[in-house]
Structure 1
Amino acid sequence: MKFNQIIHSLLETDLYKFSMGQAIFHQASEYETTWTFKCRNKDVQFTPAMVAEIREQIKAYCTLHFTEEELSYLAGIKWLKKSYINHLRLWRPNFADFTIEAGGACGLIIETNGTLLDTSMYEIPTLAIVNEVYYRFRPDYEALVADAKERTRTKADKLRAGTYWLPVFSEFGLRRRLCAEVQEYAIEQFAGLDRSDVLRSYFVGTSNVYLAKKYGVKPVGTMAHEWIMCMGQGNHLYNPAYSNKVALEAWVKEYGVDNGIALTDTITTDCFLRDFDKTLATLFSGVRHDSGDPFTWGDKLIDHYTRLGIDPATKTLLFSDSLDFAKADKIARYFQGKAKIAFGIGTYISNDTYAEPLNIVMKVTKCNGQDVAKISDTPGKGMCKNQEYVDYLQRAIDWRLRHND
């Protein structure tokens, strides 16, 4: 490897990978999936040297295992069960599941094939490796790191000064961080804020489980789109327009009233609301926004809770789509007193520099031999290899919406 190992702990992933991992272990351990990498930046090219380094970094990641200290930390998370912890004690990433090649529109092709139980765990470390390798090859890498740190210091100072009001916020930036050094520096800065100094803004924690453990802050995160896509579309007996119903009921089966922030936009929020009935809306402590206009979305969810006879002020609206502090401040003030408000902020914290950040994703594209797709509230955020399947899914969604089913 040209650089030091980038991922050096299997805790260096987002918390929701463990939350979903346990539910997958108990309910869908036999599901087979394909995941596909995509770079959305039009002007980014990965060189053969970058591809070679990414391959070696992923190979190094695949030598890791959980230590007993790490497993003990995970066992302290109240909803993780001993059976799953014992599975993790034996679990290893498998380099044979990866295909890493030069080629494609951006010069880099990555796919993983294997059980959902395995491949789900690869997404976040892979993206973190790709991101850091890309920036380390830039001649101005050190200047980017210095710029990111200076901007982080400025953000912390503005919170202390009360420039922004973020009632509860956490850091969600592992997958697109500039590098591990910058993300850790940000956690240091925000974890060190005195709540009394920042006029009711409160940094609760990070999705990065490794850094949450290291800095004694809360690990945060519940579910991602893959859970709804695979549980609702991977079983070929289900109508995919009912993906949310299948996935949310499976989540309740696993966790009851614990660990309950539901993701709304996998097959559009309007379709989600068809299945988010009074029982589910009561059991889940809140919902997460990840695409579409946040104000329209929040109003829609508040109206939905109200129609169900649930006081929206008892529920959390978690916003996580392309946020900065100014945008989060506007959202918080708009919804003040209407619901509990929280923010998960990614790239703006972990990769804010004078350079345009990479917009990279790795999404599940097949489950059990069948295409799966995400149709979000923002055009262009979906990803599927088969347009015919996307059209079929859209027709199924449209039918439900037209017939109020």
Structure 2
Amino acid sequence: MVDIASRVWNHKWKIDPIVRSLIDTDFYKLLMCQSIFHNKPDTQVTFSLINRSKHIPLAELVDEGELREQLDHVRSLSLSRGESTWLRGNTFYGKRQMFRSDFMEWFEGLRLPPYHLERKGDQYELTFEGKWHEVMLWEIPALAILMELRGRAVLGKMGKFELQVLYARAMTRVWEKIEALREVPDLSIADFGTRRRHSYLWQDWCVQAMQSGLGEAFTGTSNCKIAMTRELEAIGTNAHELPMVYAALAENDEALFNAPYDVLSDWHDEHEGNLRIILPDTYGSAGFLDNAPDWLAGWTGIRIDSGDPATMAQVAIDWWRARGEDPTTKRVIFSDGLDVEKIKELHLQFAGKVNVSFGWGTLLTNDFRRLVPGDQLAPFSLVCKAVSANGKPTVKLSDNPNKAMGPPDEIERYKRVFDLGVQVADEVVV
């Protein structure tokens, strides 16, 4: 097992690049990429970095030269033969050849497109423009790089013994969480922590700890590179990016209203009925479910990523019952800002009513809260989102208005089209 503290102390980035592979990314990005490659190959999209934690002055903490070095390194990466073989030949969710030959031939020749980086005050403007299926693959590397460089700026001021103690304390914290989760019967939990992790080495350590401490209750990781290395299941389906871009491409209000369902229709065809997890909250979960076509009720489950998780889970259960489905045969995946106490609470509340799963993210792979003076390693809310498609702005409403994004006039239009009522704002921590 890697001695992370010594590796940090003896740091040379060419030995430890922040992103070391094109598959050092979340599995859902590759699944979505293939769908976009087949269904929207000519769509031009712009992605942009958005720091929702404005009190973190990234441009003052992160050296621009180091940031460019790391971004340029990602542009030098291509699939290795072993990575290509793993993607082509592995079984994912019980299906062999999840990734088709035409997509894999394209992916094997891919180098990520150029980026635009500019300092604006105490923040960075980082954008990626180009074909959707190419620029979308910048999202996870960009986030991982910014998060880790911010951490390295703090760690670089620490002595060798300080680093040893810091990581010992952080490891103890993770293990205590694992011990607490052992008490949860029939737990099903996966690592979703790539995008805002402390570092690759730390995420890999956390995954190994989960493997050792939780056994079969630990179902896998969203990180493809770690899944391949540790012989784990790669976990993931789709994200808000799909309905956001489809909605931006809509020519009128009627097409806009139908866009979230068009996404899932294309998804169903692309994956031949597999990976049938609904993410309903892009434009409000309640309205999405109320107006959903009947064929969606037959899908496997729902992922809850904003709003009050218990309320949203009950909405899903009630919806299945109203559509003549048995909720006990369905799956609810909780994935928004989870930590141990919330996981235990939700499991206790919904076990037996529905199949409960958890995608544990930032507070698994980046919980260094209160471990250094000034809390300088506390995680913060950084996202990289599609902000326009074919020149038209994208919008996200969410079940939490504090996660909404888009031009104010377009947000109001979307609220009208999707009949979004009063929402309760929750603090966005990660």
Taking structure 1 as the reference length, the TM-score comes to 0.91
After TM superposition, which residue ranges in structure 1, 4 or more long, deviate above 6 angstroms? none
Q: Which amino acid aligns with 1:276?
A: A
Unaligned runs of 5+ in 1: 196-200
Distance 1:217 1:146 in 2: 25
Matched, 1:378 2:400: yes
Structure 2 counterpart of 1:341? 356
For the structure 1 residues 15 and 281, does the alpha-carbon distance in structure 2 shift closer, same or farther, using more than 3 Å as the test? Answer: same
Matched, 1:240 2:256: yes
How much identity, in percent, do the aligned residues show? 30
Distance 1:194 1:321 in 2: 21
Distance 1:228 1:337 in 2: 31
Matched, 1:3 2:9: no
Please point out which of 119, 136, 140 is paired with 1:120. 136
For the structure 1 residues 166 and 3, does the alpha-carbon distance in structure 2 shift closer, same or farther, using more than 3 Å as the test? Answer: farther
Structure 1 counterpart of 2:221? 206
Please point out which of 363, 383, 387 is paired with 1:361. 383
The alpha carbon displacement at 1:275 in A equals: 4.0
Structure 2 counterpart of 1:21? 33
Aligned residues: 389
Q: Which amino acid aligns with 1:100?
A: L
Structure 2 contact 179–213 (Cα < 8 Å) conserved:
no
Structure 2 contact 286–315 (Cα < 8 Å) conserved:
no
Q: Which amino acid aligns with 1:387?
A: P
Structure 2 counterpart of 1:273? 289
Q: Which of 50-59 and 206-215 deviates more?
A: 50-59
Structure 1 counterpart of 2:76? 63
What pairs up with 1:36-75 in 2 under 5 angstroms? 36-47=48-59, 50-75=63-88
Structure 2 counterpart of 1:261? 277
The alpha carbon displacement at 1:67 in A equals: 1.2
The alpha carbon displacement at 1:400 in A equals: 11
Residue 193 of structure 1 aligns to a residue in which SS? helix
Q: Deviations over 1:25-84 (max 9, x none)?
A: 100011111111111223211246522211110100110000121111112233322221
What pairs up with 1:161-310 in 2 under 5 angstroms? 162=183, 164-165=184-185, 167-193=187-213, 195=215, 202-236=217-251, 239-282=255-298, 284-310=299-325
The alpha carbon displacement at 1:144 in A equals: 4.7
Matched, 1:33 2:45: yes
Distance 1:102 1:294 in 2: 37
Matched, 1:89 2:108: yes
Q: Deviations over 1:103-122 (max 9, x none)?
A: 14x42111111111011111
Q: Deviations over 1:212-232 (max 9, x none)?
A: 111111110100100111123
Q: Deviations over 1:262-295 (max 9, x none)?
A: 111001102211343321221x211100000111
Distance 1:275 1:246 in 2: 13
Taking structure 2 as the reference length, the TM-score comes to 0.86
Residue 135 of structure 1 aligns to a residue in which SS? helix
